[in-house]
Homo-oligomer: A and B are copies of this chain.
Amino acid sequence: PRSPRADAQSMAKQQREISVSEFFTKNRHLLGFDSPTKALLTTIKEAVDNSLDACEEAELLPELWVEVHPVAENRFRVVVEDNGPGIVRAQVPRIFGKLLYGSKFHRLRQSRGQQGIGISAAGMYGQLTTGKPIVIESRIGPEKPAHRFELVIDTLKNEPVIKKDTEVDWNMPHGTRVEIELEGVYKGGRHGPEAYLRQTALANPHVKLTYRGPKGEETMWERASQALPEPALEIKPHPYGVEVGMLLRMTKDTKCRQLRAFFKEEFSRVGPKAATAIVEGAGLGTATSPKRVTTEAAERLVKSIRETKIPAPPTNCLSPIGADRLEASLREQISSDFVTAVTRTPSVYRGNPFQIEVGLAYGGDQPAEELSSLFRFANRVPLQYQQGGCAITKSVLQTNWRAYGLQQSRGALPAGPLTLLVHIASVWVPFTSESKEAVASYDEIIKELKLALQVAGRQLGRFIRRGKREMDAERKRAYIEKYIPHIGIALQEILGLSEREEKRIVTTLTGTLERSRKM
């Protein structure tokens, strides 16, 4: 059936709104659900990220139970339970049954989740592939009952539909338990759930994890540290990241009545002097009402901001892993002869503070003839897919590893017995898609990544060169030890020396050459 020739009128009839859930149903690969293997991992990951964020925000040492139950061929029930603060009853349906809903999007604060999509998308994928609702149990304190919800998403409206809502008995004083049944394929290896959990334990030594796989096998990662990481603080936007449109909107939203106060209150690092300089630099009065800022005035203000000296954003909003802990983790997990780690000082992209850490482990039992292994982390979450599309990979490829004594083909990872671990911590990690598998290539981020890689690379280079020097020295010493005696014998024969004289000559020659070799 041939489509009739369209015109503006017939085309207008086709134009309509697309709901967020429809959009992501069709574009499920954007959320990490493009294959049954990945879908299973993504489901676990979204639930675990949420649990860890909630525990840390409530300052509770996280303990998580992750279970993958086989239900039928290519069908699993994923259960993730935590000892977190729980979720108040009224919020459960929207948090788990509505895309783009949550607490983390509107704050500038380092957290694993940030978009308000992940867990409801996992529930939606389960619903799509099995028709089963997502099941949530949550309890916010020992004096309160535990609630159990069964939810589905109305994908046309992007709204939760409550199928069941009951009080249940639960032995936990507080916490949350999520259960999702989905079509999936279980695979081990680098991209599997167990590898994800192991890497999570690596970057989060304060977490206790218990995992029960589909064959009933149990693995437990005990806490390596009894202390929560320093809590990452929430910050206000930095003026250097603001643009005309955003500034205009902030002037309309603010409760401040004067421009000077507006800049002091709504931005980080703007003191009274800087606020005055910004406003006056734009030719405006400090008492001007923010509501009366026009597009043209906003343009002048943005220009004036860029000309005003303002300190870099505060960095206590970031919670890096730390070079010491990185080194310790690498030593523990990877066979090596040399380990080093770097934590860079924080930097800024689009007004957002971020911080890069690089660790590397060289030698040991690692295969000498293969490409290096690269482990990527963002806000302590392991990134297991889309390595090729990630700013971290790009930076590794663009670093000249030959300068540090490694083999490297153009456009490829360095080859050799090397594991690289790279971590980006930020109040807002710019991922290349909603599935949060790869970091976007902002220039500022690439620059910091390369600098961190170079620092670690130079240390590796020194180690490898020292090894080479020692090998060279060893070889020379071997020559001396091998040939001098023969020279002695030859001299003895030619000159008719006694055996004692010959020994003396050999010792003297050896000593002389050894000394010259060391110079």
A residues with a Cβ closer than 8 A to B are: 1-3, 5-9, 11-12, 14-20, 22-23, 25-27, 29-30, 34-35, 54, 57-59, 85-88, 90-91, 94-95, 98, 100-103, 105-107, 109, 115-116, 124, 127-132, 140-141, 155, 174, 183, 231, 233-234, 243-246, 248-249, 295-296, 298-299, 370-371, 386, 388-390, 393-394, 409-413, 415, 428, 430-434, 438, 440-443
**Please, which residues of chain B bring their CB within 8 A of the CB of A98?**
17
**Please, which residues of chain B bring their CB within 8 A of the CB of A100?**
17-20, 23
**Cβ-neighbour of A243 out of B35, B109, B128, B415 (below 8 A):** B128
Determine whether the beta carbon of A442 is less than 8 Å from that of B245.
no
With A18-B105, A26-B105, A183-B243: A11-B57 Cβ-Cβ less than 8 Å: yes
When all copies of this chain in the complex are counted, the total is 2
**Please, which residues of chain B bring their CB within 8 A of the CB of A174?**
8
Determine whether the beta carbon of B35 is less than 8 Å from that of A442.
yes
Shortest beta-carbon distance from A369 to chain B in Å: 10
With A20-B100, A30-B434: A127-B245 Cβ-Cβ less than 8 Å: yes
User: 19 extra interchain contacts, Cβ-Cβ under 8 A, other than A11-B87, A131-B245?
Assistant: A2-B231, A7-B85, A8-B85, A11-B54, A14-B103, A15-B91, A15-B95, A17-B94, A22-B105, A27-B115, A30-B431, A124-B245, A128-B245, A129-B244, A371-B410, A389-B432, A409-B411, A411-B413, A433-B433
Determine whether the beta carbon of A103 is less than 8 Å from that of B440.
no
Determine whether the beta carbon of A244 is less than 8 Å from that of B131.
yes
Determine whether the beta carbon of A1 is less than 8 Å from that of B233.
yes
A443→B2 CA distance, assembly (Å): 31
- Helix, strand, loop or mixed for chain A's interface? loop
**Please, which residues of chain B bring their CB within 8 A of the CB of A25?**
246
Determine whether the beta carbon of B411 is less than 8 Å from that of A131.
no
Determine whether the beta carbon of A103 is less than 8 Å from that of B442.
no
**Cβ-neighbour of A91 out of B12, B90, B434 (below 8 A):** B12
**Cβ-neighbour of A18 out of B15, B57, B116, B155 (below 8 A):** B116
Determine whether the beta carbon of A6 is less than 8 Å from that of B57.
yes
Determine whether the beta carbon of B388 is less than 8 Å from that of A155.
no
Determine whether the beta carbon of A59 is less than 8 Å from that of B5.
yes
**Please, which residues of chain B bring their CB within 8 A of the CB of A295?**
131-132
| CB closest chain-B residue, reference A433 | B433
Contact sample, A vs B, 8 pairs, CB 8 Å cutoff:
A6-B85, A11-B58, A11-B87, A12-B91, A27-B434, A386-B389, A410-B415, A411-B412
With A11-B54, A411-B409: A234-B27 Cβ-Cβ less than 8 Å: no
| CB closest chain-B residue, reference A72 | B299
**Please, which residues of chain B bring their CB within 8 A of the CB of A105?**
18, 22-23, 26
A94→B18 CA distance, assembly (Å): 12
Which of A18, A30, A58, A428 has the most chain B CB atoms inside 10 A of its CB?
A18
**Please, which residues of chain B bring their CB within 8 A of the CB of A17?**
94, 98, 100-101
Determine whether the beta carbon of B90 is less than 8 Å from that of A231.
no
A442→B101 CA distance, assembly (Å): 28
| CB closest chain-B residue, reference A109 | B3
A216→B14 CA distance, assembly (Å): 38
